[in-house]
Structure 1
Amino acid sequence: MIQIFRVDDRLLHGQVAKSWTRKYHIDKIMIVNTKVANDEFSKVTLCLAKPQNVELYFYETDSCYQALQMEEASENNTMLIVENFNDAYHVWEMIPYIREINIGGQRKKKETGALQIGSHVILQQSDLEICKKIMHRGIKMEIRQIPGEQEISLNRLVKI
């Protein structure tokens, strides 16, 4: 079952690998990113951040539907990670029963009209529009780098 759905521009890194996998007793991490799924160097690099007893799988964004459905029905505790909000929306449409999305780092260059939340999250107007579509359907979107941080509710910050 998918325990946590995370949007993070760095995908998998030490902080995420250790803290979130411990909190949710994660057995398996699914990274959905077409570029990474087709780049052996990126996959090897991301595997270095994976905790020893956790499996790591990579999927292309357009062809992950069956894997997502199988994972949701499995007994695994799974963490699903995407890099950006376009991918998050695409994946969320495949698994709309997910009720919460965690936002990690989004460190893009700040454009006019962007919303900066703390030092690690900059949401461009296009990101905000996608978030509004998701939140309009009753999905909770929260910002936290690690579980021990105070949760920031995007639903409270952004009017839909």
Structure 2
Amino acid sequence: MDKIGLARIDDRLIHGQVMSSWLGYVGSKEIIIVDDELYSDEFTKSIILISTSKSINVSIYDIDGGVEFLKNTEKRNLLLLAKSPVTFYRMLQKGIEIGKINLGGMVAAKNRTKLYKNIAISEYERQILKKIMEMGVNIYIQIVPDEKAISLTSVLGR
């Protein structure tokens, strides 16, 4: 069993789908959020920690802290969340092994174009996703566990 049960990109981080679907699917009670901005935002961080069920352990790290935690923990089957593919790319560069990444929700924004359903990416994010795939990581789209997974290569191309 791997340390990371599910690595997911979702700019909403913790929400109904994560709590009800993905945690049960992975069989985890442990969420690790890696996000530099959130780590520095005490107010938002406290809201996330207070609003999460007491039966779920949530930890929030910046990238360096997340890398250190993952390298040193004995815990298994963690649900690893990040808002952006850039976070996972930087973690991979720092030696964290991630075999596959679930590309969840990324909302439309001024510099983003629609990729698939509720996923919009910028040109920079597109290039980062391609770099991650070149590192041998399987990236797939699967909004909820009940849906069939779709390879990012079929939507994005290489």
Q: Which runs of 4+ in 1 moved over 4 A?
A: none
1:62 partner letter:
D
Gaps of 5+ in 2: none
* Structure 2 equivalent of residue 20 of structure 1: 22
Identity level (%): 28
* Structure 2 equivalent of residue 80 of structure 1: 80
Cα offset for 1:111? 4.1
Gaps of 5+ in 1: none
CA RMSD for the aligned pairs?
Answer: 1.9
Distance between the aligned counterparts of 1:27 and 1:49, measured in 2? 15
Cα offset for 1:158? 2.4
Q: TM-score, normalised by structure 1?
A: 0.86
Matches within 5 A, 1:112-123: 114-118=113-117, 120-123=118-121
**Contact in 1 for aligned 2:5/2:76 (Cα 8 Å):** no
Q: How many residues align?
A: 156
> Are the structure 2 counterparts of residues 125 and 103 from structure 1 closer, same or farther at C-alpha, using a change threshold of 3 Å?
same
> Are the structure 2 counterparts of residues 84 and 97 from structure 1 closer, same or farther at C-alpha, using a change threshold of 3 Å?
same
Q: TM-score, normalised by structure 2?
A: 0.87
* Structure 1 equivalent of residue 70 of structure 2: 68
Cα offset for 1:19? 0.8
Give CA deviations for 1:76-121 in whole Å, capped at 9, x if unaligned.
3211111112112112223443110001111132547x34211x10
Cα offset for 1:63? 3.2
Which shifted more, 36-45 or 124-133? 36-45
**Contact in 2 for aligned 1:7/1:83 (Cα 8 Å):** yes
- Aligned to 1:136, which of 134, 147, 155? 134
Give CA deviations for 1:18-63 in whole Å, capped at 9, x if unaligned.
2111011112111111221122221222225534322110101233
